Structure 1
Amino acid sequence: MKHTRIPAVAAVLFLLMASPLWARGGQEKEQEAAPAAPAVQQEQQAGDELSREEMVARVNGRGISREEFNDVVETNIYRFEMHNDQTFPQDRRGQLERQVLDGLITRTVLETEAEAQGITVSDEQLGETLAQFRSQFPDDDSYRAALEKQGFSEKLFEAEVLRQIAIETLINTRAFEGLTVDEATAREFYDAHPEYFERPEQVAARHILLATDEGADTDELRARLGQIRQQLLEGADFGALAREYSDCPSSAQGGDLGAFGRGQMVPAFEEAAFALEAGELSEIVETQFGLHLVQVTERIPGRVIAFTDVRPEIEEFLLEDLQNEAARTYVTSLREAARVEEFIEID
């Protein structure tokens, strides 16, 4: 069983078609606000002061500006065209605009609820999150370039991160309270899905490959590999000969391919490997890559992983499912209770 962990807030925003953190787009706008006000608060104040003509929607009294809406739409179109190397289809623009507007409305619903609940973000929390993101880049210039590519200044990105931390805190503290997975539930999942915990038979093997490039004399290569095989039968070191003669990148590891199951190698190679006992050397095996000598170093029997060995993983998997569903339900309830006015028509 394999499960990719998604932070709860990211899962919620994605499922509800909210615009991603990096899709904010546009240029940073100077705000008329007190110097001590955080960047997010400045943006919130500006949103509260928008005229109706400047808004695409109003949520719980807070406006969503046409400028921000247009920025996010154009940023998503730009990213689509960059990633797909084609012009964004205009017949899909209405669908994109609907998704963007829904996302901005959902974000604002969560943002205003976080404020109502008195949720604040400490400088330490913000600093740790920014440091974690910055650590993905080799230097500050690369970090700034990545932000700029997505339409962010550092200041605006920090404001968006601050907003997202507040929203995630809201979800974690209000939607997830009391959620647990007990042993009986985990056991029920284990018993119902035995296929997730089966580990088929594997072999660990190493090989020496003489590649049959176009124009190569196959008979000559076969004779040379036969000589190598004879040296191995006489006690020569397999790893040393693989490093010296093999044309496979695995030669750097002495020809070691690690462990693999059926269906992972080309048929002729797989058939030869699974026919060998541990320590046994194959005859010359021919595949589309060339001529091989295969030696199995270990046979690993098929097995079923015991419940006790995977119980923590199952509990984590099921808890994340519960959290995602709880977050989805919570956000939907906030959205339904919110005062939402839309001021644009989308085709």
Structure 2
Amino acid sequence: MGTKFLLRPPVLLAMFTAGIAIAQQPAYSSGIQSIDHIVAVVNENVITRNELDEMLKTAVKQLEKQGMQAPSRAVMEKQMLERIIVNRVQLQLAKETGLTVSDTELDQTIRRIAQENKLSLSEFHSALEEDGISFNKFRNEIRDEIILVRLKEREVNNRISVTEGEVDNFLHTQENSADSSEYRIAHILIQLPEQADAIKIEAMRQRAEAALAQLKDGVEFAKVAAEFSDASDAMQGGLLDWRPASQLTKRFADYVTPMKPGELSSIIQSPNGFHILKLVDRRNQNEAITMVDQTHARHILVKINELTSEGDARRRITDLKERLDNGGKFDELAKLHSEDASAASGGDLGWVSPGDTVPEFEHAMSALKDGEISGPVQSPFGWHLIQVIERRSQDMSKERQRQTARQAIRARKADSAFQDWLQRLRDRAYVEYRLEEG
């Protein structure tokens, strides 16, 4: 289908369901109350000491929940400030290009977060208040997270293509590989800035060597990652998901496949910087038959864009629902009014598997009975009406292999493209550090 709502964005709930009880605590490693002042200027925006301290407290709490000791305050401040700067330049670009999140969609997301925590909305409010967290602040943070996901989708993910030939090659390589294992890896990235000179490259290499020296001295990998790594998962110990060797870059696979669990790689240089890998564990891939509950569905989409406001889109989709309720034919209205590529086939999406669609669409579709039509459903792509035609349980072993391969190729391309895009965006920004002032 043309509208890529089959590409599910990263889950936003994890950081909030894991950290819903972020307790108020004194400033990290400080017994005095800091006076608010500017610690950095980002283009025409400022970051204050209070913002940085809030981020520090959250990061320390997350490390404590993982049983990890926090690095020194100086190290944490530098890493958290850089993270705020990177987020700020992305949010500035989103604002400049008109990327927004409607209040309706934001409320739906917060309700889903509450449900994930097995709380009613009022109980969720109370839980936040008991932990000293302002609901409005929490709401704004959720809005920012959604915007960041949308920005990445628009600027990077939607520009990634995967051909059937690439999928065939991927599966051929996997089939001909003697290695049928999956690997759980932790990594540290010492990132090189764009157009780094020889002096900067050598400085980053020495930083990687210092990290490796600590690891060889027995310091916990997660602690070294939190202190040294420039990767976004540094505060999670640099731990990656399970993946087969075929989903690793050749450079990483050459190091990882001969390693035993617990072993460290040497320093690996790539265009992005210097890497250190640890093989956490390995396991055999599960090749059992995959039975999947699928839904045959169709939909009508009205997009929200510069020509159609959120309110106008909702009014149009509501009018279409009334016409369906009064006997209108779904396929005919889809052909006339849907703004998705599936309109030509009466909105027919074919057989949809769990995880194929964005959460908002999947939740609404799952709640429908065969033949039932939903009310208006908002997703990142606009407003939908959804009809379930029928359901089935299907052996998807081969198709799932191709889908998994396609997702792996896309993820690999997107990860690399996102890091490059983010580095360019960061390098173009005007940043003035004032951390030592005040």
Deviation at 1:311, TM superposition (A): 0.8
Aligned to 1:152: 133
Aligned to 1:117: 97
Aligned to 2:419: 328
Aligned to 1:281: none
CA contact (8 A) 2:43 2:430 kept: yes
Give the secondary structure class of the aligned counterpart of 2:133: coil
Aligned to 2:111: 131
Give the partner amino acid of 1:108. Answer: R
User: Does residue 404 of structure 2 align to residue 313 of structure 1?
Assistant: yes
1:151–1:7 Cα change, 3 Å: farther
From 166, 174, 178, the equivalent of 1:193 is: 174
Q: Deviations over 1:17-58 (max 9, x none)?
A: xxx99799869xxxxxxxxxxxxxxxxxxxxxxxxx711101
Q: Deviations over 1:237-281 (max 9, x none)?
A: xxxxxxxxxxxxxxxxxxxxxxxxxxxxxxxxxxxxxxxxxxxxx
Task: Please show how residues 1-347 of structure 1 align to structure 2 within 5 Å.
Answer: 7-8=9-10, 54-81=37-64, 83-84=66-67, 92-136=72-116, 137-140=118-121, 142-144=123-125, 146-148=127-129, 152-194=133-175, 195=180, 307-345=398-436
Deviation at 1:307, TM superposition (A): 4.9
Q: Deviations over 1:272-312 (max 9, x none)?
A: xxxxxxxxxxxxxxxxxxxxxxxxxxxxxxxxx97555112
d(CA) in 2 for partners of 1:201 and 1:163? 40
Unaligned runs of 5+ in 2: 1-6, 26-35, 181-243, 245-283, 290-395
Deviation at 1:144, TM superposition (A): 3.1
- TM-score, scaled relative to structure 1: 0.50
d(CA) in 2 for partners of 1:124 and 1:342? 37
Deviation at 1:201, TM superposition (A): 9.2
1:171–1:9 Cα change, 3 Å: farther
Higher relative contact order (CA 8 A, sep 6+): 1
Deviation at 1:159, TM superposition (A): 0.8
Give the partner amino acid of 2:59. Answer: N
Deviation at 1:108, TM superposition (A): 0.6
d(CA) in 1 for partners of 2:405 and 2:77? 39
Runs of 4+ in 1 over 4 A off after TM superposition: 5-10, 20-27, 148-151, 196-202, 305-309
Q: Which has the larger share of helix?
A: 1
CA contact (8 A) 1:25 1:71 kept: no
1:100–1:200 Cα change, 3 Å: closer
d(CA) in 2 for partners of 1:81 and 1:306? 41
Deviation at 1:132, TM superposition (A): 1.6
Deviation at 1:188, TM superposition (A): 1.2
Give the secondary structure class of the aligned counterpart of 2:40: strand
Deviation at 1:102, TM superposition (A): 0.8
Give the partner amino acid of 2:409. Answer: L
1:149–1:336 Cα change, 3 Å: farther
1:187–1:93 Cα change, 3 Å: same
1:172–1:150 Cα change, 3 Å: farther
Give the partner amino acid of 2:88. Answer: T
Identical residues among aligned pairs (%)? 23
Q: How many residues align?
A: 205
CA contact (8 A) 1:9 1:168 kept: no
- TM-score, scaled relative to structure 2: 0.40
Q: Deviations over 1:40-91 (max 9, x none)?
A: xxxxxxxxxxxxx71110101100011111122133334434553x8x56x6
d(CA) in 1 for partners of 2:426 and 2:72? 25
CA contact (8 A) 1:179 1:322 kept: yes
